[in-house]
Structure 1
Amino acid sequence: MILVPAAVPRTAPAFQRLIDPGQRPSVLGALTVEVLPPGVHVEQRPCEEAEFVTVVLSGRLRADGRILSPGEVLHHRPGSDCRFTAVRGAPTALLTVRPVATVSPVAAGANIPSQRAGSLAVDSGARVSVDTVTFAPGDGYEPPADPGADVFLVLLSGAATVLGEDGARSLFPGDLVYVRAGERHGFRAGPRGPVTAVLGRIVATADTADTADTADTVRSVLARNELH
């Protein structure tokens, strides 16, 4: 498990490589964070090999003719670019997730539409799924180890504890946890209030992608009250 404390910079402009496959060859995805000053217009370069995902972590973003708030997600199909503008008023922090280009690419014509957090339907060819989940105080989950996918979590609000093979670690807003395929992990919200987190999953190949993403699994566990 990789823990990156204070992964989201507080000032703009800023850019950080959070998870770099060049430095960590075993990971399945590259994660970067960028903080844009209010009103700045940005065009992301296309990724020919696979889709990529943009997640709003703070501030507001104008993209695809609408305004996105923290926790909302944009999926982009292979080969596409993305133009967006940070809404005036406060800096906008963006997380970008790109799967490593070491497997068969998704078909170039695959349709991966923009999605709002909480309603993400994973395309049958997508390698990345991202969603936002709010936990009640004390709620948590501990999924079985997944040998075919990396998972990650960015805490947006509240305090929590992440459980890894080397013990428990405290999490605070802006912290990132990245769990490589096959590693066990768990998560528990703190007792003092709701906790909101971005959850993501990166599969090894498009063939292993399925329609049940990380957020769906978490919601299913919470609904069954399997963890208290």
Structure 2
Amino acid sequence: MMRDDLVLKGQHSQWESSYLKNKDMFGESPSEAAIRAAKIFHLHGIKKILELGAGQGRDTTYLAQQGFEVIALDYTKEGTERIRQKSIALNLSDRIQVVQHDVRLELPFENCSLDACYSHMLYCMAFPIRDLETLSRQIHRVLKPGGLNIFTVRHKGDPHYGQGIHRGEDMYEVGGFIVHFFDRNKVDKVSVGYKILDINEFEEGGLPRKLWMITMKKESN
């Protein structure tokens, strides 16, 4: 196995240790992406959402508070435990189901069983494009006909693109974390079987990070 492949796989322990050190690594407030996504989900009559890469649950709890049923999936033990703690503290246990799972594996849900999928920056984690194409197919499988997949990615206009250690494709490691930066071609690669409804550009954080929020609808089975 190539060294960069080993580094990509090593991101799991990087996230585990980071979440262990900081119980609210990204703060307690929801992301702008989650606030925007909730409005879109309400407009489309969405009830049940699969959140991938839920982290420590700042968006999970917000979405549940907005009236959605949320299945929060993350591959870290620390992250999923923190989401469980928050759901109990906020009396949201009836709206939040927590699952520890690696999205590189088949999603543990039935075909056509979910209304929508949401993820904030999961697609720009340390996944080669082949893994992201597989993930999009898995999301497509579990969505109901007409279901939505809303996700965000950092794009090549981001100040960190090309900085740090190159880890293959358009992935760069800065501060121990690997980011996969997108261009429009990559968006097209992960949108097979979907209709792209919107690509919205926005900024986040103090750098600031440059992101796209992509809203796609499942077109075919």
More strand by share: 1
Per the TM superposition, whether the score is higher than 0.5 is: no
Q: TM-score, normalised by structure 1?
A: 0.32
Relative CO higher for 1 or 2, CA cutoff 8 Å, sep ≥ 6? 1
Structure with the bigger percentage of helix: 2
